[in-house]
Structure 1
């Protein structure tokens, strides 16, 4: 794709869009599909009714159906995939992940498998000029992406924050945090687990995952709590404290930030469909 142009490939299950023009502010949208936004080169910014959402270079973000949003900025290129809920649910049923459409968390992060898929698809679309090739490629690629979204997308169907399989100090920190996620952690303790100083580990962790170490452990606690929230009758306070939150207020605040609803509302919406 050269010059200022847009490329759209679509079928009944979804759509792929790549463009390097009109990257500034756009109109408000509220689509009936899941929309996976990628930022291959630099930060993208979207406005939502709850504030701006940044998507760092190499990261992705998933809008749920009917999520109101407006593109404010895309760096050098806009690259997104739309997937119909029925198509995602068909994939979910085939691999045994629930019977209700997932609700994805408002979290932007990096994941190696997602990045590999994004890189491969972009390169193919850019280098192959045949529209027939694009169409056939999209048919298979959407199935792959649906599986990746279900496996590695952070949402209501998960019982843990999606695993990231990487080597090195960040992996050491993650393993330590997972083993003791109910405990309080300081950046100094994380640095000790990594064998680095705290400034190095904070930078490397954010570079590898797209989120800070503290944000990661808080998200890990929240997603670990979802099973208890949806499959038990335990009080919200008990669940919060059992999963490493110091008080129910911080648990509620994080839930509101991630899902735009309280744990009680989340439980009411999702638990009887599990």
Structure 2
């Protein structure tokens, strides 16, 4: 079954019968890609990423990307950039365009939304176009708000952990500890001790739930915290890197560019 719904502010696309793509794309919209089942592989100019079941990726307008492989089915949503940035401006009072991180992500609100939409698209298959259009417009706005509140992006000031307390308490306790002491030199043993798991068990459970390794999550949280310093202080890039727990300014610059496609100094100019 292949289903396409579109409007002036975006589209839903659910494909279960399709040929694999292998060409580079660069779209004038935000693109949300969700893995229903199996694995989905994409490549950007900076890295290759694989999303597992119920994880997602975000691509920014004009960001080069290429689909490498999809195991079984494909669900993507295109969001009009003006619509999403107007929402961002009204909700967060920030005048610059949103930049989502090139990152495998999982959040429970996004996963629940996507599963509901996929189920509902099948129900709407025989409904009049006007009904489908109304459903699409409402839910594109709703998805935009969920992503602005939960997905790692340039305007984010923190990472929401509430849903992890229900999904997995040991991992939630570890994430909370990392947030409270993100400047420290954490080891895998330190993190596993907080979770009361062996380090191998902890690393496996963390990666399965979060989509990335524990240390990668810590580095991303440090990057999120650094964004506020880039926006609102006159600290140098070196001072910000050290203040946020990075071992060197070179590591900070490299990770920041990998996630946002631009250096911290370029980001600072953009948001100012």
Q: Could you tell me the TM-score, scaled by structure 2's length?
A: 0.93
Q: Helix, strand or coil: the match of 2:228?
A: helix
What per-residue deviation string (whole Å, max 9, x for no partner) do you get for residues 241-273 of structure 1? 111111111111111211122211111222x1x
For the pair 1:104 / 2:91, whether they are aligned, the reply is no
What per-residue deviation string (whole Å, max 9, x for no partner) do you get for residues 24-59 of structure 1? 124322111000011110211122233423222211
The verdict on how the C-alpha distance between 1:127 and 1:97 changes in structure 2, with shifts beyond 3 A counting, is same
Identify the residue that residue 248 of structure 2 maps to in structure 1.
247
8 Å contact 1:159–1:227 — kept in the other structure?
A: yes
1:164 CA drift (Å): 5.0
Identify the residue that residue 18 of structure 2 maps to in structure 1.
22
1:23 CA drift (Å): 4.3
For the pair 1:74 / 2:75, whether they are aligned, the reply is no
For the pair 1:35 / 2:31, whether they are aligned, the reply is yes
Identify the residue that residue 219 of structure 1 maps to in structure 2.
220
Tell me how far apart the structure 1 counterparts of residues 218 and 78 of structure 2 sit (CA, whole Å): 30
8 Å contact 1:26–1:72 — kept in the other structure?
A: yes
1:203 CA drift (Å): 1.3
For the pair 1:160 / 2:167, whether they are aligned, the reply is no
Identify the residue that residue 173 of structure 1 maps to in structure 2.
174
Identify the residue that residue 262 of structure 1 maps to in structure 2.
263
What per-residue deviation string (whole Å, max 9, x for no partner) do you get for residues 156-213 of structure 1? 1112244452121000101111111000101111111011111111111112211111
Q: Helix, strand or coil: the match of 2:17?
A: coil
1:64 CA drift (Å): 0.3
* RMSD over equivalenced CA pairs, Å: 1.4
Tell me how far apart the structure 1 counterparts of residues 174 and 228 of structure 2 sit (CA, whole Å): 24
Tell me how far apart the structure 2 counterparts of residues 96 and 218 of structure 1 sit (CA, whole Å): 24
Identify the residue that residue 83 of structure 1 maps to in structure 2.
79
8 Å contact 1:17–1:81 — kept in the other structure?
A: yes
8 Å contact 1:40–1:58 — kept in the other structure?
A: yes
For the pair 1:195 / 2:196, whether they are aligned, the reply is yes
Q: 2:132 aligns with which of 131, 134, 141?
A: 134
Q: Helix, strand or coil: the match of 1:95?
A: helix
Tell me how far apart the structure 1 counterparts of residues 72 and 29 of structure 2 sit (CA, whole Å): 25
Structure 1: stretches of 5+ with no match in the other structure: none
Q: Could you tell me the TM-score, scaled by structure 1's length?
A: 0.93
Tell me how far apart the structure 1 counterparts of residues 270 and 68 of structure 2 sit (CA, whole Å): 31
Identify the residue that residue 55 of structure 2 maps to in structure 1.
59
Structure 2: stretches of 5+ with no match in the other structure: none
What per-residue deviation string (whole Å, max 9, x for no partner) do you get for residues 126-152 of structure 1? 233214332221111011101011111
**How many pairs align?**
267
